[in-house]
Structure 1
């Protein structure tokens, strides 16, 4: 009986260590997902968006030349400033990852080069020198071939991290569950042994120990079920899909404007625009990234995306009109329709409406994701100290119940 008591106490001690560690790890991992990993992924996505928007805004500013508004100039400067700020934030979550360091180094080195080329393009353009267009095309080339690919790889790394952490958070605790089952079987077997040898059906200490572990089992089952359900509702792929849709739209807008900058030599930009438009809305105009985003949308996300289909159609129709004017030798009118939001049939206001809708949807989707993760984390509240207390109660019950039987031998 002394050996049985020692064995049961040792089993409960191991169970306590495993359950407390498991509950604590799940709780910490879930809170970190909400407070650290997801915000970092959002920062990287914001970095990508700022870089893409800067490329499009630089082209708009160039086309407007002397008539460029202060708002356009400020938007470009804000995007470059935001990119600089978020580069450091992007390194916080994976500071020891060499892949992160490599991509951040690429962006940090090439971003000043890009900004310098844009300023050279602007200065030459204001003087009416045609070489300004060459500078702008080179700047866009640096952005598209070096900076944006590095930012995309950086976002992929962080998005994978969020997906991995979410998967870890919902993984079933097989070791803790197995140990709990073994301990309960051992407690029941010991009570059967005591009943047969002492003729007493119930042992108060052993009943208390068993009840404590059953309470822990029920509590954990409910908490982990709620945790898994809430974490499963938090789908990072929705945020990723919306972010990708917005980035593709911004890249297509940059190609639309760069085609005008090229003045008859923008065939490559037209081809890229068509490819990006197909990716965004599909060849039929009803599929692509936007359709996928709307299909899974609900609540505030669905409301934000409600008008994006119409805005996209208006933008693409405006783009086709701009191309007709430009190809027909009416370059000035084409530029006016492309960048002036007040011009009849302009593509600029339609794109602005599309971009604003995607931004609102992206923010709402992020908020939904964080709310679901926080709900999952809160479902584990007090589970760690709860298991510590229940394990002490179980150990005390075992010691008390078997000590009473041992005293009968004295």
Structure 2
């Protein structure tokens, strides 16, 4: 024992030790409470704010990409496009508008700037598409020029802003997941220090009073052990669940979102190559590049995917391979001058035709993406449930520890009055 403590009278020494133990107990309880509250807030943010924002950003990007691909495909029709394509295009615009409205609610300054660009330029895009449709009905080649201008606006202005929104939302999810998966070292270290202090106090009191056990200090030590073990265990369990959502969810979400974007971009490239009527080499080159990227991204998704999702992703890759083979046949028709046959191949409505194969690819990726988003949300929800009721329990345990320390020293202090 330090010399200063040896010089203290026994009552003063007991008071000092009691105050120190109470301070440690309150510090342990406060640290555990603050950590649990912070982790609970993070998991709630994933399930109620950042997670839904990521999904809305995905929907915005997908709707804009699909609108562009659908408008290009519909343009291949001779005159008025098919009703189902027109309705799909309008539905895409409606979903994009709804996603924009939701995104404005929790936008920071950077996202607000992106949303401003999207809000002002989307009507410009739709105006260009409508002009292209009008010229197309009249059979005027100028319609193709307007559609290419619309697609350029979509690809170079609208989609990059939508991608920025998704990246921002996904970064927010990733940051919340990282913070929610850290080990609660302050709780562990402070808990061990508190328990060690209580054990040391028990030994000191036992030597000075010739009593083996001090009931109050023993009770305080047991409470401190619970105050240490419960939050550390619960926080570790919550972190494990959130980390599972991060490993099998967020990484997969990013890969699948990229895959869906690339597939839709390639579909638009395919149609724009035909619309260009012999001057679409740049679109065809982009198609080949994008399809190579799609195969790479889907391979990444397959590596991140749990067993339950692999079949869908493998199915998507198979459909992408089928589509690429059918696209090469389409290009052979167009390159040898059979433009009408190439257009018929690109717009056919049979279950085994090119549009149906692309539709199966898009459906498989979309389904897998929905499952990955749901997994992120579910695991975060499970992580939050592991902390349910813990804050109240920590308050009660902290109060119990303080009371036990007081009860442990109070009888000893009375002996010196």
- TM-score normalised according to structure 1 size: 0.95
Q: Match for 2:321 among 302, 313, 318?
A: 313
Contact 2:25 2:224 in 1 (8 A): no
1:316–1:347 Cα contact (<8 Å) kept: no
- Using the TM superposition, name which of 211-220 and 156-165 deviates more: 211-220
Match of 1:129 in 2: 140
How far is 1:39 from its partner? 0.9
- For the aligned residue pairs, the C-alpha RMSD in angstroms reads 1.4
Of residues 367-376 and 330-339 in structure 1, the stretch that sits farther from structure 2 once superposed is 367-376
State the match for 1:16 in structure 2.
29
Residue 43 of structure 1 contacts residue 86 of structure 1 at CA under 8 Å; is this kept in 2? yes
Out of 272, 276, 282, the position equivalent to 1:268 is: 282
* Equivalent in the alignment of 2:74: 61
* Pairwise CA distance, 1:173: 2.2
Q: 1:165 & 1:312 partners in 2: Cα distance?
A: 34
Matches of 2:50 and 2:235 in 1, distance apart?
21
Corresponding position of 2:55: 42
Contact 2:191/2:227 (<8 A) preserved: no
Identify the match of residue 25 of structure 1 among 27, 32, 38: 38
Corresponding residue of 1:101: 112
Unmatched 5+ residue regions in structure 1?
282-287
Structure 2 distance, partners of 1:333, 1:22, is 66
| CA deviation after TM superposition for structure 1 residue 67, in Å | 5.4
Give secondary structure in 2 for the equivalent of 1:122.
Answer: helix
Q: Secondary structure at the match of 2:353?
A: coil
**Partner deviation per Cα, 1:90-144 (whole Å, 9 max, x = no partner):** 2333x3x211111111111110000000000001101111110010000001001
Aligned to 1:355: 362
Q: Secondary structure at the match of 1:380?
A: coil
* CA offset digits 1:34-70 (Å, max 9, x no partner): 1211111010011001111000000111111435221
Aligned to 1:284: none
Which residue does 1:190 correspond to in 2?
A: 201
What are the within-5 Å matches in structure 2 for residues 159-198 of structure 1? 159-198=170-209
Which sections of structure 2, spanning at least 5 residues, go unmatched?
Answer: 1-13
State how many pairs are aligned. Answer: 401
- Match in the other structure for 2:3: none
Report the Cα distance in structure 1 between the residues aligned to 2:62 and 2:286, rounded to whole angstroms.
Answer: 18
Does the 8 A contact of 1:301 with 1:360 survive in 2?
no
Distance 2:128 2:80 in 1: 20
Normalised TM-score (structure 2): 0.93
For 2:20, the equivalent position in structure 1 comes to 7
Q: Give yes or no for contact 2:79–2:139 (8 Å, CA) kept in 1.
A: no
Contact 1:300 1:364 in 2 (8 A): no
C-alpha deviation, 1:352, in angstroms: 0.7
Match of 1:340? 348
